């Protein structure tokens, strides 16, 4: 803590010190945002910070950031641990060194300077992005002080990322021939909402920078902005307050407040591990002859691994995985399909089974090495997890069998036995909000298209990277229908009773989904009356469930239809019930009850 010898009163010293650190934090936020803005301007338009007055201002900004972060190191309110301390000191030293060298014009050895100039520039840009992310994350941790409903924050977080993504995609260097505001908004929404519908060709119309922006958008959108920033906020602040924990528990589906930190870390680590393993497998299995070099193959692998896990459906290939040369890469298709399933099954399921396996491993180890009795913990894997896993398995089986049967004389015709198996399996996985295609979608049989509509509507699982009605919602609705048919007053499964609130929410979500989908089909047919209604219905189902599959009409949509589809993608990702909860005033506690009457249903 800095000393102020001219102030004698200890309380005044403490107050002044707190003010210094407070304003230092505020200045750091402004400076990091300003540096990031200049960086975006630089890479989006032209290399304008390499020389001139802006370059001098930019380097002074880097020095100011270094000084600000140095001051923060002495703040007692910051909980510095060794990894964080090493990272922040390294950032400070690198930024300070780079800025001083640029300002003083010190010339290093010519060969060394030329060889490392681009590396230094890349590292500076990367560190500026990290600092921006740090300050944005720390700012997000304070959002609970606004006393805003979590549903509103959830919606606004997606809306903010979409707006930022739209602006980034409109940068001249992001596209090869420019992009309109509506198309940029559509593409950004499709990426953030992990849909995959495209009005421009991702492979031809976007530059490497544009493709990279799209990849970042669906990575952030898949995890959720609050999950993403909260993790960085936790790492670079050292912990959460109780208010932060209460605020975050709904976002990561964790009822135990004491496990907020560990659950958040598990989600991020699990995501990075699965995406990393998937990228390595794709890189090693895909035919290297299809790429110009190792760099192209690496980016293809990383892009599709992230897109698969996030159920985004974006591809750097013009015809998706049906691209010539790639359509027969069955091992790659299988890896991506498994990645889609893992990403779409939901983080609560993953965390639940991790806790279960941890319990079994620890209990077994103690029993073997210490001779203690194995303690069974009831319901480590709860009813929600079991219902999701069973429903997912049943839907995959139904999708596989139906695709294999109905497509035998269509898209599966002429394929090898292994090719038919992988294609049918992929065909049962991709409508579950993934959006990849390994076949010509226009060649699908009519029964397959109708089954796809149902699978797309059901979608992935709650707490996952996917969208749709959700597997648990569909399962609860089916169980309730069977209970009514049997004359049972309760909905029971796995020796447990499902609460009436859950049943009410399930049917509310189903009703709202039909309302939004029906309105979407009506409006698109109104703006594009020349289109086939089946193609339009498929498009709207795909948009609402954030799937990304299309029968080929997306690029032909009018401006009005694009706006409609954009809104439906957004509603499908954030949830129609979430929007209602956010905008409708919550009813006060009802201390009364009217006389009960029955209404004729059938």
Of 492, 310, 256, the C-alpha closest to 387 is: 492
pLDDT given for residue 559 in this prediction: 94
User: What is residue 374's predicted lDDT score, i.e. its pLDDT?
Assistant: 66
| pLDDT value, residue 142 | 67
Question: What secondary structure letter does DSSP report for 8?
Answer: -
Q: Which residue has the tokens 């924050």?
A: 153
- HSE (CB half, 13 Å, CA atoms) of 426? 29
User: Which residues are 492's β-sheet partners?
Assistant: 497
pLDDT averaged over consecutive 10-residue blocks of the chain (602 residues)?
55 72 84 86 70 75 85 72 72 77 58 50 76 77 67 82 92 91 95 91 92 92 70 57 59 63 79 93 93 92 94 91 92 95 86 79 77 67 86 94 95 93 95 88 93 92 82 92 89 87 90 94 95 94 92 92 95 85 70 79 68
pLDDT at position 211 is 94
Enumerate residues 6+ apart whose C-beta is below 8 A from 499. Answer: none
Are the beta carbons of 63 and 57 closer than 8 angstroms? no
Q: What is the DSSP string of 436-473?
A: --SS-GGG--HHHHHHHHHHHHH-S-TTSS--SS-HHH
**Residue indicated by tokens 């959002």:** 143
| Residues in CB range of 586: below 8 A, 6 or more apart | none
Q: Is 373 helix (H, G, I), strand (E, B) or coil?
A: coil
What is the structure's pLDDT at 247?
59
User: DSSP code of 408?
Assistant: T
């Amino acid at each position: 803590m800095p000393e102020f010898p001219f102030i004698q009163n200890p309380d005044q010293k403490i107050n002044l010190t707190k003010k210094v650190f407070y304003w230092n934090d505020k200045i750091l936020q402004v400076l990091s945002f300003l540096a990031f803005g200049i960086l975006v301007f630089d890479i989006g338009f032209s290399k304008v910070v390499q020389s001139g007055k802006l370059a001098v201002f930019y380097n002074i900004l880097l020095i100011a950031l270094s000084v600000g972060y140095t001051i923060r190191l002495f703040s007692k309110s910051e909980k510095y641990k060794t990894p964080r301390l090493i990272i922040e000191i390294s950032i400070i030293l690198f930024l300070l060194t780079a800025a001083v060298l640029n300002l003083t014009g010190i010339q290093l050895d010519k060969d060394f300077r030329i060889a490392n100039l681009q590396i230094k520039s890349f590292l500076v840009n990367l560190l500026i992005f990290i600092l921006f992310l740090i300050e944005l994350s720390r700012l997000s941790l304070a959002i609970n002080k606004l006393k805003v409903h979590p549903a509103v924050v959830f919606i606004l977080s997606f809306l903010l990322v979409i707006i930022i993504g739209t602006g980034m995609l409109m940068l001249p260097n992001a596209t090869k021939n420019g992009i309109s505001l509506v198309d940029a908004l559509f593409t950004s929404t499709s990426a953030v909402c992990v849909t995959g519908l495209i009005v421009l060709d991702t492979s031809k119309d976007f530059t490497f920078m544009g493709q990279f922006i799209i990849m970042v958008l669906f990575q952030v959108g898949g995890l959720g902005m609050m999950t993403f920033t909260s993790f960085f906020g936790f790492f670079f602040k050292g912990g959460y307050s109780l208010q932060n924990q209460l605020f975050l528990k709904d976002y990561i589906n964790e009822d135990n407040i004491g496990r907020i930190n560990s659950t958040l870390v598990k989600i991020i680590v699990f995501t990075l591990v699965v995406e990393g393993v998937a990228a390595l497998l794709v890189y090693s299995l895909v035919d290297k002859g299809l790429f110009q070099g190792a760099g192209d193959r690496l980016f293809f692998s990383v892009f599709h691994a992230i897109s698969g896990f996030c159920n985004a459906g974006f591809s750097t290939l013009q015809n998706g995985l049906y691209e010539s040369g790639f359509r027969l890469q069955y091992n790659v298709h299988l890896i991506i399909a498994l990645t889609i399933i893992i990403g779409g099954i939901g983080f609560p399921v993953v965390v639940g089974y991790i806790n279960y396996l941890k319990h079994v491993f620890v209990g077994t180890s103690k029993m073997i090495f210490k001779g203690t009795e194995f303690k069974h913990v009831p319901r480590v894997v709860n009813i929600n997890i079991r219902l999701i896993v069973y429903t997912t398995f049943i839907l995959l089986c139904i999708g596989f069998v139906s695709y294999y049967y109905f497509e035998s004389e269509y898209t599966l015709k002429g394929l090898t036995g292994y090719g038919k198996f992988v294609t049918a399996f992929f065909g049962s996985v991709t409508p579950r909000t993934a959006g990849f295609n390994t076949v010509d979608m226009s060649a699908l049989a009519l029964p397959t298209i109708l089954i796809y509509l149902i699978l797309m509507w059901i979608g992935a699982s709650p707490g996952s990277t996917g969208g749709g009605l959700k597997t648990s919602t569909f399962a609860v609705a089916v169980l309730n229908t069977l209970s009514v048919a049997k004359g049972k007053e309760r909905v029971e499964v796995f020796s447990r009773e499902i609460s009436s609130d859950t049943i009410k929410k399930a049917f509310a979500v189903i009703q709202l989904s039909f309302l939004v989908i029906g309105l979407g089909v009506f409006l698109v047919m109104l703006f594009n009356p020349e289109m086939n209604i089946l193609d339009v219905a498929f498009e709207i189902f795909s948009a609402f469930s954030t799937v990304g599959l299309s029968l080929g009409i997306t690029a032909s949509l009018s401006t009005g239809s694009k706006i409609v589809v954009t809104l439906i993608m957004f509603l499908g990702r954030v949830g129609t019930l979430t929007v209602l909860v956010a905008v409708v005033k919550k009813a006060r506690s009802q201390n009364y009850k009217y006389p009960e009457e029955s209404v004729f249903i059938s």
